[in-house]
Structure 1
Amino acid sequence: MSVTPALPRSLSTEQRAFVAALREFARRECGTREQRDALAAESGGPHAPSLYARLAGLGWLGVCLPEAYGGAGGGMTDACLFLRETSRGLVPAGGFITSVITAKAYERFGSEEQRKAACGGVVAGQVLSIAMSEPGAGSDVAALRCRADRTPEGGWLVNGHKTWISNAHLAEHILLVARTDSGGAKQEGLTMFHVPARTPGVEIRPIETMGGREVNDVYFTDVRLPADAVVGTVDRGWSQLMAGLNAERLFLAANMLGLGERVFEDTVAYVRGREQFGRPVGSFQALRHRLADLATEIECARLLVFDLAAACDAEPERLFPREASMAKLKATETAKLAALEGMQMMGGYGYATEYDMERHLRAAVVSTVYGGTSEIQRDIIGRNYGL
């Protein structure tokens, strides 16, 4: 009996064909452990440049970006299908999620030239990164201190330290959020800047993690930017960030939904084949019931993710802060639970590098931290009920 996850019932014929093509690509390019190990060796992390270039060649990286910049013009549902299937298929395209989140900010607020560089670059296979967090500004991102000061020539001079910046080492451009005014509340006086990653004064240093090279410290030392580097409006960076929360949290949720589904499939395959006391271990009620609970939780996450995606497509300008936080919370916590349960049910083999489960666990655990911790998501949800 297949455990292939269900598709949303509302998908079009074209979307179903897209999913089928993604699944075949993952099977062909990343279907064996040997293939995945070879791809992982390219960058020491979850991004393989050679495979990413093939995704660009197929036109898939522009799935939800405007046709005017080479994209497919799809919506949030299409992006979620891509993220879910590449994650489920263990496709090492780790640079995509920061790229598409950043590109959507440029699409909404950037100048025409900035949109061409960012959106067009993503379609062509470039990676983008967004630099918000700092040593003293993580969950409280509005407390950031990296400064951009006006120069006599009309440009900007940037100094500061950003940390935990995903994919900065792969990025062609970095979308920087810096403080341009300290006179008001901490949410005021923030501005977005378009920064080519190789701009003089930008230094990117890796932070070693359990997942390999994914995140970085980024130092800005007397970085000079032209006046037209501003993305959107000076001192309005906070409201611009808030406008992108639907996309960021939904994309992260779709990504972890796919991982949770893959963990479940791998666990079921193992417990069907592993025998103890003369029978498959999956036939014991203790494991069968745990898998039933996991399957139910994953299905709830799937329904939540794709219902929100459909709502965003129907009302593109509306913010869904409660639902976006719910989707991110549910999908990431479910993926973490699935990986922990999968490791337990596989016993020692779940811990061994011979199997994928230990990789799944490393990827799932950190998902409840980045993009807003689970605690922050719960706080946002609570505030939306007036609490």
Structure 2
Amino acid sequence: MAITLTNEQQDFVAAIRDFCARECGTREQRDALDSRQHPHNAEIYKKMADLGWLGVAIPEEHGGSGGGLVDLCLFLEETARGMAPIGGFGVTMIVAGTYERFGTPEQKDRILGGIATGTLEAIAMSEPESGSDVGSLKCKAVREGDEYVINGQKTWISEAHLSEHILLVCRTDGSGAKHEGISMIEVPADAPGVDIRRIETMGGEVVNDVFFTDVRVPVENVLGQEGNGWMQLMSGLNVERLIIAALALGMAERAFDDLLAYVKEREQFGRPIGSFQALRHRIADLATELECCRLLTYDVAQQVDANPGAMFPREASMAKLKCTEVAKAVTLEGMQMMGGYGYATEYDMELHVRRSLVMTILGGTSEVQREIIGKTYGL
């Protein structure tokens, strides 16, 4: 399926590029925003909210502009390519999709409306002993009257330290199989008994450990049906994997842009290094891989928009797998071709490398994606 953008979508892309060039287009601007250590900047995020962009894929009745996944992918790709410090947006939109599918009218108005105006949201799945095997989670919510009492730990929770709420995936019934008795419960990030501790990583301040000690929330904070959390998680995989694919695509494109500029300017042996066949052919291969990623991502996004109730486990996993692996390859090749300068903080390539490495892990590792794809072929 060809990528055909409407005039409105083309104008949207142009506006995002212009915004990123004005607000964070130079290294000096990004350093002033401290975006290397803090990938999410509240000031830039508020400006985008005021422009109405954060509601790009939120229904109009909840304060958004009612766009689909193609529109969301365009925004994610271009902001990642422009290095806009809005690191909390991706996970927020993963949460938004869950509320849109399973929330009550009140929950949708409150959460989706808040997201459109600039609030951040987090989702908590992983635990110290439960990563790829989410079904083995142990964090518990026990009902006492009109409340749940929550105890347990979550880890690697993106942007919990900046979020309004944490959508907790926990166990409300331990009597059945491991994928049964799992529920989604909305927990205010500042609720008594919630302890958020940031985890230091080479990507800056992004992820957190979150401890729940006798945290009490009302029963109406359940999202969807109690005990149906596993199926609710599975229904959101199209959105989650496309969000990560689009972010990885934009990241890879920016690394490629930076690399291309460097090999055209850097001279050795009396001519630009990009004119040597050893580098020129590698550049050609990377450009071809990026084009494949873009076609795959938007083909899947168009299919999901055309069939919003359908699951695309093979296609969505392929997009996530391909884009994240290519992003890693582009950045590592970029560092290699730039030599010592690729390793120096003077240039952004080392930052691109650090940020790309985790993309093949978060949201389901590349190994998990390959397992899913293989199973769709009956293997």
Question: Which range, TM-score by smaller chain?
Answer: over 0.9
What SS does structure 1 have at the residue aligned with 2:299? helix
Aligned AA (2:45): Y
Shift of 1:282: 0.4
Q: Which residue of 2 aligns with 1:3?
A: none
Structure-2 separation of matches of 1:13 and 1:358:
36
Which of 180, 185, 202 pairs up with 2:194? 202
Matched, 1:243 2:260: no
- 1:14-34 Cα distance to aligned partner (Å, 9 max, x none): 000000000000111111001
> In structure 1, how many angstroms separate the alpha carbons of the residues matched to 2:297 and 2:116?
24
**Alignment partners' CA distance in 2, 1:354 and 1:208:** 22
> 1-side partners of 2:4 and 2:257: how far apart?
24
Instruction: Give me the whole-angstrom Cα distance separating, in 2, the residues matched to 1:362 and 1:115.
Output: 35
Contact map agreement 2:3 2:299 (CA 8 A) in 1: no
SS in 2 for 1:45: coil
TM-score under structure 1 normalisation?
Answer: 0.97
- 1:118–1:173 CA contact under 8 A, matched in 2: no
Letter of the aligned partner of 2:105 in structure 1? E
> How many residues were matched structurally?
378
Matched-pair contact (CA < 8 Å) for 1:161–1:217 = yes
Q: C-alpha distance in 1, partners of 2:311/2:160?
A: 28
CA displacement at 1:369 relative to structure 2: 0.4
2:80 pairs with 72, 83, 87, which one?
87
1:268-325 CA-to-partner distances (Å, cap 9, x unmatched) read 1000000000010000000001111101111100000000000000000000001010
Could you tell me how far 1:158 is from its partner in structure 2? 0.4
Deviation of 1:257 after TM superposition, in Å, equals 0.3
Match of 2:19 in 1: 25
Q: 1:328-356 deviations in whole A, cap 9, x for unaligned?
A: 00000000000000000000000000100
Match runs of 1:318-333 below 5 Å: 318-333=310-325
5+ unaligned residues in a row in structure 1: which ranges? 1-7
Aligned residue for 2:124? 131
How many Å apart are 1:40 and its aligned residue?
Answer: 2.3
Counterparts in 2 of 1:15-164, with a 5 A limit? 15-40=9-34, 44-151=37-144, 153-164=145-156
Q: Extract structure 1 runs of 4+ deviating beyond 3 A.
A: none
Amino acid at match of 1:198: D
User: Contact 2:73 / 2:246 at 8 angstroms: preserved in 1?
Assistant: yes
CA drift at 1:199: 0.8
Separation of aligned partners in 2, 1:32 and 1:288 = 27
Number of the residue aligned with 2:224: 232
Q: Distance in 2 between matches of 1:247 and 1:9?
A: 19
List aligned pairs for 1:290-309, cutoff 5 A.
Answer: 290-309=282-301
Partner of 1:176: 168
Distance 2:322 2:46 in 1: 32
Q: Tell me how far apart the structure 2 counterparts of residues 363 and 314 of structure 1 sit (CA, whole Å).
A: 32
1:5 matched residue in structure 2:
none
Q: Distance in 2 between matches of 1:329 and 1:207?
A: 25
1:269 maps to a residue whose letter is A
CA RMSD of aligned residues (A): 0.9
Give the Å deviation of 1:154. Answer: 2.5
Instruction: Name the amino acid aligned to 2:86.
Output: A
**Does the 8 A contact of 1:114 with 1:194 survive in 2?**
no
- Code of the aligned partner of 2:217: L
Alignment of 1:267-346 (within 5 A): 267-346=259-338
SS in 2 for 1:214: coil
In the TM superposition, residue 59 of structure 1 has moved relative to its aligned partner by 0.3
How far has the Cα of 1:185 moved from its partner? 1.2
Deviation at 1:116, TM superposition (A): 1.6
Partner Cα separation in structure 1 for residue 190 and residue 202 of structure 2: 27
Is contact 1:250–1:305 with CA below 8 Å preserved after alignment? yes
Question: Quick one: percent identity of the two aligned structures?
Answer: 62
Which of the residues 363, 372, 375 maps onto 1:380?
372
Which amino acid in structure 2 is aligned with residue 321 of structure 1? P
CA deviation after TM superposition for structure 1 residue 112, in Å: 1.5
The CA distance in 2 between the partners of 1:223 and 1:275, in whole Å, is 61
Partner secondary structure for residue 161 of structure 2:
coil
Partners of 1:63 and 1:39 in 2: CA distance = 24
